[in-house]
Amino acid sequence: MNPESRTVHLLGPPARGRLKRAGVVASLALVMASGVVGSATPADRSASERAPAAPDGDRCRPAHHHRPQALPGEPGDHWNACRGPRGPRGETGATGPTGPQGPPGVTGEDGSPGTAGATGATGPTGEVGAPGLAGATGPQGATGAVGASGLTGPPGAPGPCLGIDAAQESEDFEIRVALTGGSTYAGIRDQRTGEKEDFLWTDLSGRPDYPAGGAAGLPCDVTVNAHNRTTAVKRIKFDVITTTGQIWEAACVAFTTTHPATLNCADRTGRPKPWILVSRQPTVASVNGGV
């Protein structure tokens, strides 16, 4: 092996440090001389084995320029440094912390927001909810103002007229006449046994010419007229006054030959006697006159 290479390795960083601390730079030649004549030390052999062989023989080509201020064997002394084989790749370091979030991007190419998407389909109708509870009854409102009085309606139809009259001209019987429900009734009661007998009634409304409306009007009151008991023929007359002021009359005969006494309002042929409008009706300001 080349003695120069061994000398350089012997004067590595430890030897140079010792020389600087002792200040014996002047004895460098003596040390180098003793290294040349001596045999290679184990440290020299180990260093030679670690250094790869240079392409041109036993001398390594410097990989970098030598720094003038560096002594042989110091860091930066690359005269005899040879590039060794690439070592194995180290383990991947731990992932660093996440950096701060950047500003939000824009949607459109010109920086404007993108167009809204189409509206989705309407979902199915949900189930009907349960009926809610009934609310509390509210307070009673204030009484409203009294409305205006309505117009007076037209006069109603005249109500039914009522009337009654009585006469007793004989000790044998008594007479009644009654107007009710628009009909006129003649009644007789036998007195020969006291007042134990019942009234016997005859409806005079069904006789001919009974005033039943129109110009004659409707019967509105009644009266009765009986002859004296000494009269052979006991004639009875029944009169009505109508709603138009007319007076109508019907005649009957009382029969006492039977018991109880009865009324006969028919003529000699047996036909019912008609109602007769009395001759001359009362008029305003008349004196022993009339129409």
The kind and range of the H/E element at 255 are strand 247-255
> For residues 107 and 114, is the Cβ–Cβ distance under 8 A?
yes
CA separation for the pair 223, 190 (Å, rounded): 20
- The residue count for the chain: 291
Domain membership flag for residue 237: yes
Same domain for 71 and 168, yes or no, is no
Task: Tell me whether residue 141 is in a domain.
Answer: no
Q: Indicate whether 271 belongs to any domain.
A: yes
C-beta separation of 78 from 60 below 8 A: no
- Helix (H, G, I), strand (E, B), or coil: what is residue 253? strand
What DSSP letter does each residue of 42-58 carry, written as one string?
HHHHHHHHHSPPBTTBS
pLDDT at 275: 96
Predicted pLDDT of residue 27: 46
Predicted confidence at residue 17, as pLDDT, reads 52
pLDDT of residue 105: 54
At residue 7, the pLDDT reads: 44
Q: Which of 24, 50, 82 is the endpoint of a domain?
A: 82
| Number of domains, the chain | 2
Neighbours of 288 (CB within 10 A): 5
Q: What residues make up the domain containing 199?
A: 163-277
Residue 174 lies in a domain: yes
Q: Indicate whether 267 belongs to any domain.
A: yes
Please tell me whether residues 174 and 271 are part of one structural domain.
yes
Phi, psi of 43 (to 5 degrees): -65, -35
Residue 195 — left, alpha, or beta (φ > 0 → left; ψ -120 to 50 → alpha)? alpha
How far apart (Å, rounded) are the C-alpha atoms in residues 5 and 162?
170
* Phi, psi torsion values for 136, nearest 5 degrees: -70, 150
**Residues 212, 219: Cα–Cα separation, whole Å:** 7
Asked if residue 211 is part of any domain, the answer here is yes
Q: Is residue 36 within a helix (H) or strand (E), and if so which, with residue range?
A: helix 28-37
**C-alpha distances out from residue 246 to 61, 179, 211, 252, 291, Å:** 170, 16, 9, 20, 11
In order of 29, 129, 131, 191, 249, the CA distances from 126 in angstroms are 106, 9, 15, 96, 89
pLDDT mean by block of 10 residues, the chain; 291 residues? 45 48 44 42 43 46 49 49 76 83 60 78 89 90 91 76 92 93 94 86 95 93 83 84 96 88 91 94 90 89
Q: How far is CA 15 from CA 66, 71, 75, 240, in A?
A: 20, 11, 14, 175
Domain boundary among 54, 82, 110: 82
In a domain, 99, yes or no: no
Whether residue 118 lies inside any domain: the answer is: no
Judged by DSSP in three states, 183 sits in: strand
Tell me: do 169 and 272 sit in the same domain: yes
pLDDT of residue 61: 52
> Which of 21, 55, 82 is at the close of a domain?
82
